[in-house]
Amino acid sequence: MKVTEHIAQAKDTLISFEILPPLKGKSIESIYDHLDPLMTFKPAFINVTYHRSEHMFKKRSDGSFEKVEIRKRPGTVAICAAVMNHYNVDAVPHLICGGFSREETENALIDLNFLGVDNVLVLRGDAPKNESSFEPEPHGHRYADELLHQVVNMNNGMYLEEDLQGGVKTKFCIGVAGYPEKHFEAPNLATDMSYLKRKVENGADYIITQMFFDNQKFFDFVKKCREMGITVPIIPGLKPMTTRKQLTVLPRAFHVDIPNDLANEILKCKTDKDVELVGAEWLIQQSKELKEFGVPVLHYYTLGKPEVIRKVVEAVV
């Protein structure tokens, strides 16, 4: 079922989770171990992130180095199929521009369609860790909007080859990312939101936001979206703080502010176990307020901390 159908049929705020594929070499059981404690909350859907290859230097036997491409977390599509089969829940694969030509994207979408996946979250992706800016693949997409256009085309039965127009129409429900605190490359929030609006005008069915720790930022973002004429559902992306190190890591990696009150509480913590308690309590309060505000879904980034998310959701539902 499509994310938008879940939202349209819901009588109360829905719950959903985002998971990462396990590191290469681990089994699918690690995914089930992660999700089992969370399935009691009957999530409407489960997102599975996509991780592109990273360029690394491997030492040869003669001491010289060769550049290799390594994907540390493969398996997004297969995990979606496994999760749908194992739990009878909808899965939402993340689909990125980075590392894909249009042809490879088309083939990935055909696989997803054959597997009965009804949803995709279309994203640009970031530059590989050791590269300074995002560069599309040859014949790939530069912006999420272009990738979205390809999915919309397939939903209309339009494939890349001229003689394949009028092919099977896929029925993907398309999500896109939004940034209450602005995407880090955008010159300002207004410009960033104008591109978000374009994604919606071009066919995005809903928006999921980057994590935020100050609900007011989300409320302001929703207000601005509505003023601009963006009417699709806006789903807040939520993450608990679980380590002291995240006070500096999260602002650097995700370009989000940590509110003073939360930062001060975390600074008082002696151990990361204490931080988990503070982070969970903060997220419980955030979630309750967002529920009250009327968000359609509370979407939790589980990021290896299912027990913390379980505690939070238990307190909210």
- For residues 180 and 306, which CB has a smaller minimum distance to ligand FAD in the complex? 180
Convert residues 45-64 into a mask of x (bound to ligand FAD by CB under 6 A) and - (unbound). Answer: ----xx-x------------
Among 80, 89, 112, 123, binds ligand FAD (CB under 6 A): 123
Closest CB 196 distance from ligand FAD, rounded Å: 7
Identify the residue whose tokens are 């089992």. Answer: 36
Collect all residues with Cβ–Cβ distance below 8 Å to 6 and sequence separation of at least 6.
Answer: 14, 44, 45, 90, 297
Task: Compute CA distances 136 → 55, 73, 128, 310, whole Å.
Answer: 15, 20, 11, 38
Asked if residue 126 binds ligand FAD (CB under 6 A), the reply is yes
Contacts of 303 (CB under 8 A, 6+ apart): 18, 20, 239
Q: What is the closest distance, in whole angstroms, from the C-beta atom of residue 153 to ligand FAD in the complex?
A: 17
Distance CA 290, CA 100 (A): 36
Which residue in the set 177, 258, 295, 313 belongs to the binding site for ligand FAD (CB under 6 A)? 177
Among 71, 72, 73, 183, binds ligand FAD (CB under 6 A): 183
Q: Is residue 146 within 8 Å of 124, Cβ to Cβ?
A: no
Determine the straight-line distance between the first and last CA of the chain, rounded to whole angstroms. 22
Q: Is 125 in the site for ligand FAD (CB under 6 A)?
A: yes
Q: Is 295 in the site for ligand FAD (CB under 6 A)?
A: no
Judged by CB under 6 A, the residue of 82, 108, 186, 189 near ligand FAD is: 186
**247-251: long-range pairs with CB below 8 Å, 24+:** 250/211
Burial grade of 216 (CB within 10 A; 0-12, 13-18, 19 or more): exposed
| Cβ nearer to ligand FAD, comparing 258 with 278 | 258
Which residues, numbered 83-112, are part of the site for ligand FAD (CB under 6 A)? 94, 96
The number of beta carbons lying within 10 Å of the beta carbon of residue 90 is 24
How many residues does the structure list for the chain?
317
In the bound complex, what is the minimum distance in angstroms from residue 76's beta carbon to ligand FAD? 8
Q: Is residue 278 close enough to count as binding ligand FAD by CB under 6 A?
A: no
Q: Which residue among 33, 131, 185, 201 contacts ligand FAD (CB under 6 A)?
A: 185
Among 150, 210, 215, 242, binds ligand FAD (CB under 6 A): 210
Count the site residues for ligand FAD by CB under 6 A: 21
Judged by CB under 6 A, the chain residues 8 through 47 that form the site for ligand FAD are: none
The answer to the question of residue 192 lying near ligand FAD (CB under 6 A) is yes
Alpha-carbon distance of 199 to 270, in angstroms, equals 44
**What residues between 133 and 162 interact with ligand FAD by CB under 6 A?**
143-145
Cα diameter, the chain:
65
Residues lying near ligand FAD in the complex (CB under 6 A): 49-50, 52, 94, 96, 123-126, 143-145, 177, 183, 185-186, 192, 195, 208, 210, 237
